[in-house]
Structure 1
């Protein structure tokens, strides 16, 4: 596969937009189904100026990734497509499990149930794995570069959220943080 194939852009129905928009749709569905959890998920009242910059940059990059995905064909029938699809299915299940655990936790409580027992940030983790899986299924270098940039920005958001949780939940969050890795096996 040549480098030019990895940056190929072509508007089409069977493009990377399908799984990309699925990740976004899941977020909206959970926010509709679990209104309190949805409100909590989008509450930015605690954001510092730095958190606001990361959030704004994240929204912009996510829109860019979605826009790029409209023009990136999935490599249907190839081993990369199969590998990406399997990884995406894994990420999708984990993403939904993380959203369910988050959305069903009462307001004012630390989310420690479900996959949150294994990771402090499973929603971000599975979203990012899903996004990387789409890059694999589409064999797109351009989409991969945008996704890597998004992952780096999301890490900044996570650091801000963890600071907020430390301030809000104090010792309880410190204990949770001490026993639970940020990204599953990665502290």
Structure 2
């Protein structure tokens, strides 16, 4: 069972390393993967410290679980598990593994088109093959699967709320991104959108 406590942190480190590695490869090719900060709504920029603090607290919970620490930033009633069922934990571990597989396939099939943010001056080619022929958003799907798997593996109020927050935030961003992609790629994206589902 110790492995199930370490797995979420190990999975996060794997995701971070895979992303960092892919970004470094693209940068060596002279490809900028992030959009410029200019033009971003001011209220979103002001939220960055909040999300940064939330990330620190979330990571501290992963570390606490992995190393068996008894206390953290949050109260026990908020971080204590609501269920200790082994089947739920096994399901959570399976979903986490699926998240890592989907992520690796997404990074592989992105080729040189990996981008973060919406920037008309910095868009790659529209990818419709590989895992993108099954999901229009495999990268975001992998993140949703990761947080959902974590909430199943360690079903505390904190991780459940984090999963809900992540899923909701990603969904609304995708809705905004779809309008941008439709404007940028036009009919090609319209056909792709009709053929392949948003998540599955």
TM-score, normalization by structure 1:
0.72
Q: SS of the counterpart of 1:71?
A: helix
- Distance (whole Å) between structure 2 residues aligned to residue 14 and residue 43 of structure 1: 34
Q: Tell me, which stretches of 5 or more residues in structure 1 are unaligned?
A: 1-12
Assess if the C-alpha contact under 8 Å between 1:81 and 1:137 holds in 2. yes
Please point out which of 47, 62, 68 is paired with 1:69: 62
User: CA 1:90/1:110 → structure 2, altered by over 3 Å: closer, same or farther?
Assistant: same
Check whether the contact 2:102–2:138 (CA below 8 A) recurs between aligned residues. Answer: yes
Distance 1:109 1:90, change over 3 A: same
Does the 8 A contact of 2:92 with 2:150 survive in 1?
Answer: yes
Q: Which one of the candidate residues 70, 76, 89 is aligned to 2:97?
A: 89
Q: Deviations over 1:96-135 (max 9, x none)?
A: 1011111345964201111111111111011111221122
CA offset digits 1:45-85 (Å, max 9, x no partner): 697539956x9499545554334323346999933332211
- Whichever of the two has the greater Rg, that structure is 2
Call closer, same or farther: CA 1:47–1:143 in 2, change over 3 Å: farther
Alignment length, in residue pairs?
Answer: 171
Instruction: Please give the secondary structure, in 1, of the residue aligned with 2:135.
Output: coil
Residues 9-38 of structure 1: CA deviation (Å, up to 9, x unaligned): xxxx83743323332232212222343597
| In 1, Cα distance between equivalents of 2:160 and 2:60 | 13
Compared with structure 1, are the counterparts of its residues 152 and 58 closer, same or farther at alpha carbon in structure 2 (3 Å cutoff)? farther
2:23 to 28, 31, 36: 31
Residues 15 and 69 of structure 1 are in contact (CA less than 8 Å); yes or no, is this contact kept in structure 2? no
